[in-house]
Amino acid sequence: MTDRIDLSVIIPVLDEEANIAKLHAELHDAMTGIGRPFELLFIDDGSTDGSFPLLKALAQQDPCIRVLRFRRRFGQTAALAAGIDHARGGTIITMDADLQNDPADIPALLAKLDEGFDIVSGWRIRRKDPFLRRRVPSMLANRLISKLSGIHLHDYGCTLKVYRASVLKSIRLYGEMHRFIPALASWLGVEVAEVPVNHRPRIHGKSKYDLTRVIRVILDLINVKFLLTYSTRPIQVFGFFGVVAFGLALAGLFTVGILRFHGVDITGNPLFLISIMLLLMGMQFITMGLLGEISIRTYHETQNKRIYVIRETVGSPGEHA
């Protein structure tokens, strides 16, 4: 294996002992056929079956394999983040270990990337998952994420994706945010494409998906929307609610004042109490916005983190002196 790596394939693994050998064989054939130097990064996310011993044995036989083993289960997002941090290739490919993603689709995704795109996402047109439990929530989520992020994809949940490493390594992942990578990358001004891919039924092992993940995804989606829209100006979102609360409070107090002027007893009047509550809420929202501004400034300034991203620079510095 050459020292130069072009392609890094990241595969999170959790109790997939029955699938690993076949996955490795298919991946090795597909990647060898591409003809570019590659590595296979398996991330063992705290497996309790024989997944890690099998991966370790394969790594001793195949110099293209690297295995990272977590001390405990941290989740798919953490596994992908670890793979991204350790990937050496200029192009990063992510996929599942359950054999539902087809390695034979990788060349088509790479070809699309070479057309000038930054991210190419797989689109499972004919999904082999339960309709009500998996496909319906996924369709709703895809439409909602596309609407909120402005990056329109049919299948955000497909793990089979190809990225330029320069784009992917600039994104910090946590929670369940691996599925939102194209949306998070939209802040960088990336070009995203989608390619239909094969989706195979799960034969061995157990699906890690459960309905509780829907709640986590919804909460992370709210977080993503905030990060994309107001991460550098929190006062605008909190200040908006604060101003609205203040306006309603003043309107309520003005109405109470008119009633009092006409001799109406306002002792215990609900409108008066609601107005006072709205007044306090308005103060809290604006205070939260100011504290958010301080936190954002601290975040950007202590890390010397820019609030912009440059795609390319044309011309030498001397031309603009």
- Tell me the DSSP string of 135-198: IHHHHHHHHHHHHHHS---S-TT---EEEEHHHHTT----TTGGGGHHHHHGGGT--EEEEEE-
Burial 191-207 (b: 16+ CB within 10 A, else e): ebbbbebbbeeeeebee
Most confident stretch, 68-82, 98-112, 225-239, 307-321: 98-112
Q: What is the pLDDT of residue 133?
A: 64
pLDDT beyond 90 at 4: no
Q: Please name which of 24, 66, 61, 29 lies closest in space to residue 44, comparing C-alpha atoms.
A: 66
77: its two tokens: 């997002």
CA–CA separation, 202 vs 319, rounded Å? Answer: 59
pLDDT at 202: 79
Q: What is the pLDDT of residue 29?
A: 95
| 282 residue type, one letter | G
Choose among 20, 99, 83, 97: nearest CA to 54: 20
Residue 167 near residue 87 (C-beta atoms within 8 A): no
SS3 98: coil
pLDDT at 203: 81
Identify the residue with better confidence: 162 or 267: 162
- pLDDT bucket at 205, cuts 50 / 70 / 90: low
Nearest-angstrom CA–CA distance, 41 and 82: 10
State the virtual CA torsion across 297, 301, 307, 308 in degrees, nearest 10.
170
Fold of 7-230: Spore Coat Polysaccharide Biosynthesis Protein SpsA; Chain A (3.90.550)
Tell me if 25 sits within 8 A of 107, measured CB to CB. Answer: no
**pLDDT confidence of residue 31:** 96
- 110-127: pLDDT as tens digits: 999 999 999 999 998 887
* Residue 100: per-residue pLDDT: 92
Confidence of residue 212 (pLDDT cuts 50, 70, 90): low
Q: Is the pLDDT of residue 311 over 90?
A: no
- Residue 160: burial class (beta carbons within 10 Å; 0-12, 13-18, 19+): buried
Residue bearing the bigger pLDDT, 140 or 72: 72
Task: Confirm if 96 and 33 have CB atoms less than 8 A apart.
Answer: no
Confidence of residue 27 (pLDDT cuts 50, 70, 90): very high
For residue 319, the model assigns a pLDDT of: 46
Distance of CA 135 to the CA centre of its chain: 19
Provide the residue ranges of all domains of the chain, joining segments of one domain with +.
7-230, 234-302
Q: What is the dihedral of CA 287, 290, 292, 298, to 10 degrees?
A: -140
- 3-state SS, 220-288, equals HHHHHHHHHHHCCCHHHHHHHHHHHHHHHHHHHHHHHHHHHHCCCCCCCCHHHHHHHHHHHHHHHHHHH
| 320: pLDDT strictly greater than 50 | no
Write down the pTM of the prediction: 0.73
Q: What is the pLDDT of residues 136-146, one digit of tens each?
A: 777 777 787 77
| Mean pLDDT for all residues in the chain | 83
pLDDT score recorded for residue 20: 95
Q: Extract the tokens encoding 141.
A: 């989520």
- Greatest alpha-carbon pair distance for the chain in Å reads 91
Share of the chain above pLDDT 70, in %: 83
Q: For the segment 275-300, what is each residue's pLDDT rounded down to a tens digit?
A: 889 999 989 988 888 887 777 667 65
Evaluate if residue 134 carries a pLDDT over 80: no
The pLDDT-based confidence of 316 (bands split at 50, 70, 90) is very low
pLDDT of residue 321: 37
Identify any residues that bridge with 119 across adjacent strands, giving them in sequence order.
Answer: 163, 192
